[in-house]
Structure 1
Amino acid sequence: MKFAYFPGCVARDRCRELDDATREVAKDLGIELVELNGAVCCGGDLPEPDPEATLAANARNLAMAQAKGLDLLTVCGTCQFHLSLAARALEDPATRERVNRILERSGHGRYEGGLRVRHLLEVLLQEVGERKLAAHVRRPLGEVAVGAFYGCRILRAPGTETFDTPTDPTSIERLVTILGGNPVRYNGRTACCGFDAPDTSRNLTSRLSASALMRAKDAGATTLATPCPLCHLVLDAHQRDASKVAGERIGMPVLHLSQLVGLAFGIDPDRLGVRRNTVSVARVVRKLEDAEVVKA
């Protein structure tokens, strides 16, 4: 199994642990990640992206993957959203030709359409499959109660409807079950984390994240897992601000999806970058280390 790998800007910088964990999980499963040297930002992390420039930039990313004859793999819900939007827009011949003229003038070839943009979550469930995933579980999640935080973008990306339902998703819960864990459902799993709120509305971000974290905690979750590093930044790195809004210390570990899978696979936590998480993941790691190891 081979994919053109698009980690995105955040996984290369502020959330390097996501890239580390993804590579470890891919290696464990025998998935080959082919680098896209020269790939550019999808536009999702820009304060005021120019629509035409963003479309051309993503056409360049898609063309690079297409030149390798591979589907594009993302690990970011926001990248998934923007790249999928671009791929759909570029299915229109007139739009594609207009954008290709921009690419050709800048020496970046052409995009011919038809490329699939796939998030790791989809690939794990649809391509790797339950049987192979379960066979790689060496430290079942057991009593770890995992709440999924999908965020507002991954399930609204064109094509996502082929593997989950945007209004009532179950994909992360299914994955947690395969990993031997206890999935916790709660209201607010598909809400906005607040990352896109302007700097002048920092309090809005804190209120949104506090709401999601407290709803998960009140439902019995002891850790969260998210498929989007932008959501992770808000829920993990800025959890102190959310705690101030909530009026109590929330103390909720937030794992990248790849970290969750890697821990269940028995991969060394340090190789998954858990020390970079702001809220300590130590109690989750201890629970797994205390559990009986399953021979994969």
Structure 2
Amino acid sequence: MLSQTLKYAYYPGCVAQGACRELHMSTQSLTQALGIELIELKKAACCGSGTFKEDSLLLEDTVNARNIALAEELNLPLLTHCSTCQGVIGHVDERLKECQTTKPDYVSQVNGLLEKEGCSPYRGSTEVKHILYALVQDYGLDNIKERVTRKLTGLKCAAFYGCYLLRAQKSMTYDDPFKPEAMENVFRAVGATPVYYRGRTQCCGWPLSSYATNESFKMAGMHVQEAIEGGADCIVTPCPLCHLNLDSRQPEVEKVIGKKLGLPVLHLPQLIALSLGISPEKLGLDRHIVSTKSVLEKLGM
């Protein structure tokens, strides 16, 4: 059992408050059930999903230094449930911490811009952590097992990590960036069976979707087909942008590849919360484009 309540500065990101509202819903339901306290950073800005630096690295660093500084004001780690946000904000944090030693004038420039806007300075005093690793490292798999009331026995889950979570930062202290196991270990903890397939650590194709749509959809279709061929009942992802390309756009993907897919795609918090006995309605499982009915039927729900 945990000796104390875990507390985080919660950065929900844009997509979880819009197109993937069910991710925000299920994160709140899950953390409440586990006794994890989230303090939402309501003044936080969009991380830019990697696009700010195309115009200005200083812009990306300043916007996200401000996001991190909001968490530092609370003396808490910044927690996100979006792999893209983790990759972008985590990389900025990593870069600025390094610059504090190698390029202190650059950090001063960033903080000067923050000061002009009346914002707290970036200190480099906290960390940026995805909910997956907060659950595995801070909460602990054994503690999750103890809270399971509905084992997901027989459910075959294919993890889709996405690229930002694994390889956006130089150092990856929580998992192997090329052979990760964190999500598969979570699946085992809640009674589900992991499905391994080639595409689980590759890009979903989302970054290509605005200018090379067919190529993006072909990538997504390839990953979904591989998961189906591996016997998966569903894909589970820790990234709402991956979810959009794999779930919300799956009907369009099917048209491009000329094949019917119909594989449900769950957000990681939804899967864990199901094992804790939380109702599908409370987790927004009715909001998906690809119906999650087959998953619920497999679990006898």
TM-score scaled by structure 1?
A: 0.94
Q: Post-superposition shift, 1:14?
A: 0.8
Alpha-carbon distance in structure 2 between the residues aligned to 1:160 and 1:14: 31
Corresponding residue of 1:79: 85
1:164-183, Cα deviation, whole Å (9 max, x unpaired): 10111111111000010010
Aligned residue for 2:212, secondary structure, equals: helix
CA deviation map 1:228-250 (0-9, x unaligned): 00000000000012222332210
Q: Tell me which residue corresponds to 1:258.
A: 269
- Is this contact kept in 2: 1:9–1:41, CA < 8 A? yes
Q: Is the 8 A contact 2:111 2:121 kept in 1?
A: yes
Q: Which residue of 2 aligns with 1:200?
A: 211
- Shift of residue 160, structure 1, vs aligned partner: 5.9
SS in 2 for 1:255: strand
Structure 1 stretch displaced more, 69-78 or 89-98:
89-98
Correspondence for 2:278 among 259, 267, 276: 267
1:158 pairs with one of 169, 177, 189: 169
Q: After superposition, where does 1:108-187 map in structure 2 within 5 Å?
A: 108-158=119-169, 161-187=172-198
1:149 counterpart letter in structure 2: F
**Paired residues of 1:147 and 1:185 also in contact (CA < 8 A):** yes
Q: CA deviation at 1:51?
A: 2.2
* CA distance 1:160–1:240, change in 2 (3 Å): farther
Tell me what 2:96 maps to.
Answer: 90
Say if 1:193 and 1:209, in contact at 8 Å, map to a contact too: yes
Task: Identify the range of structure 1 (24-33 vs 196-205) with the bigger mean alpha-carbon deviation.
Answer: 196-205
Equivalent position of 1:107 in the other structure: 118
| Cα pair distance change 1:36/1:128, threshold 3 Å | same
Bigger shift: residues 240-249 or 8-17 = 240-249
Measure, in 2, the Cα distance between the counterparts of 1:211 and 1:271.
31
CA–CA separation in structure 1 for the residues paired with 2:256 and 2:201? 20
- The answer for the alignment partner of 2:3 in structure 1 is none
Correspondence for 2:226: 215
Match of 1:43 in 2: 48
Aligned residues: 290
Q: Distance in 2 between matches of 1:243 and 1:41?
A: 31
C-alpha RMSD over aligned residues: 1.4
1:56 partnered with 2:62: yes
CA gap 1:154/1:138 in 2 versus in 1, 3 angstroms: same
Write the letter of the residue equivalent to 1:102. L
SS in 1 for 2:172: helix
Residue identity matched to 1:151: G
CA contact (8 A) 1:62 1:72 kept: yes
- Out of 62, 70, 74, the position equivalent to 1:68 is 74
Q: Counterparts of 2:174 and 2:168 in 1: how far apart (Å)? A: 11
Larger mean CA deviation between 274-283 and 48-57 belongs to 48-57
Tell me the alpha carbon deviations over residues 219-275 of structure 1, each in whole angstroms, 9 at most, x when there is no partner. Answer: 111100000000000000000122223322101000000111111111011110111
Structure 1 residue 45: Cα displacement: 6.8
User: By how many angstroms is 1:138 displaced?
Assistant: 1.3
Helix, strand or coil: the match of 1:90? helix
Quote the sequence identity (%): 40
- 1:42 and 1:149 map into 2 onto residues whose CA distance is 22
Which runs of no fewer than 5 residues in structure 2 stay unpaired? 1-5
Q: What secondary structure, in the 3-state scheme, does the structure 2 residue paired with 1:232 have?
A: helix
Structure 2 residue 28 is the aligned partner of structure 1 residue 23: yes
Q: More deviation in 192-201 or 121-130?
A: 192-201
| Distance in 1 of aligned mates of 2:268 and 2:91 | 23
Flag the 1:12–1:159 CA change in 2: closer, same or farther, 3 A.
Answer: farther
For residues 99 and 198 of structure 1, what CA distance do their matches in structure 2 show? 32
Q: Do the aligned partners of 2:209 and 2:217 also contact (CA within 8 Å) in 1?
A: no
Pick the aligned partner of 1:33 from 33, 38, 46.
38
Shift of residue 214 of structure 1? 0.5
Alpha-carbon separation, structure 1, partners of 2:237 and 2:110: 33
Relative to 1, partners in 2 of residues 1:52 and 1:262: Cα closer, same or farther, differing over 3 Å?
same
